[in-house]
Chain A
Amino acid sequence: MKFTPELSFSGGRVRPLTYDDVDALFELYQHPELPGQRVLDNKDNLIRMVDLSVQMAATQRGMMWALEVDGAITGMVSAFDWQPSLLRTMLRVDGLPQLTLAQRSAALKVCMDFMAEKYHLRNFGYQWIEGQNEEFKTMLTELGFKQSAVMRDAWRSGETSFANVVQFNIVLDKKKPVAGRLGEDSDINPGQNLNTDNNKDGGAA
């Protein structure tokens, strides 16, 4: 069964994580973007993370994509705190220094479009943490996100230090789906498994 699709964007693609990605992901986590985030010192947790990426997608709790440019992993896109019944999720992109803002933005957009089409999500949040690249805020605004709140000291950056979190949201002007029976065949609810006949187009019709 397949729950996380491969999606192309101009200059690259996002695809599901596999065990073969562990070395590339380890390299990615040598360049943490978040204030206070530690450099990863062993690969064991990454194998678990690949397992989790499948479990989370299957249970609609989150989704993780490897972000590839020119065939090499340069980042990751993650959807987390996914609330299916509330039609919302949070997003995050982690990238190597060579990942450009345009690539980051395009990857984020293609993942967002997929989740809006396939799962009818209409509210996407993104938290920018003080100390991260300021240009990420501009990128989010250009994608249509709006600043919702500045959450004081909401991110712990050290034993006794904290950083403000700026939350951005984009709420799509999109009709809410009508609830159907679980597993029934319909245009609006073709099921999660992307390998079935109902999802031959990748699920993002």
Chain B
Amino acid sequence: MIDVLLAQGSGFFQKRTGAGCVAENGFCPSWIADNINKYWTPLGQHVFLTVTAVAIGFSIAFVLSLIAHRQRWLTGPITGVTGALYTVPSVAAFFLLIPVSGRGNLTAEIALVSYTLLILFRNITAGLRNVPEDVIDAARGMGLTPNQILRRIELPLAMPEILAGLRIAFTTTVGLATLAFFAGGSGLGEQIYSEKAGTGGIFFKSNVVVAGGLAVLLAAVGDLVFLSIQRFALPWRRATAT
């Protein structure tokens, strides 16, 4: 395996910096500079995998939360089922799904979505539950219908918890999506684990640093986006007594 890697890598490096760095499996900035273009497509795929999983997961969790909000007794069973999905080891989940949905992004997405459900469901229901009783009573007493209360009062007030859930779900999914490779999915996982990706595979340090680093960067950017939404879209959260 290492031989293959070195054979592949050496071709690139002899031109500019010599075989030294790559041959010694070091951290090679000039190799990175030469090869960075090979990472953009997988990064895009990774973003797609993550965003799709979080979006689908959110839609399902949101509907489940609304159902549980109206029928409180369903909260326990739904938490149980999504909790069970959450505890399945991720790589195992990918392999278990392959016979059902085949190798590829579909299988990867199914697993990724199932991991977001518990986090999102728990945060959305907690957000809805934490809306102060007196605010709802006042809203009812003033003549808002149950749907108006949900749309105008409960969901906006649950936004901080919902966004917090999305943050956690997004960063978790960025990490898990690197394993999508094992289900035949695309994304940065292919660069990290496979020599076939053409960037040296798991045993070439420079490659692992770049591919892993991009995943970390993606998670950080997502984190920042949700944080800024929390900060700028919810001005009332910052309002305190003057």
* A and B part of one assembly: no
B residues bordering A, Cβ < 8 Å?
none
A residues bordering B, Cβ < 8 Å?
none
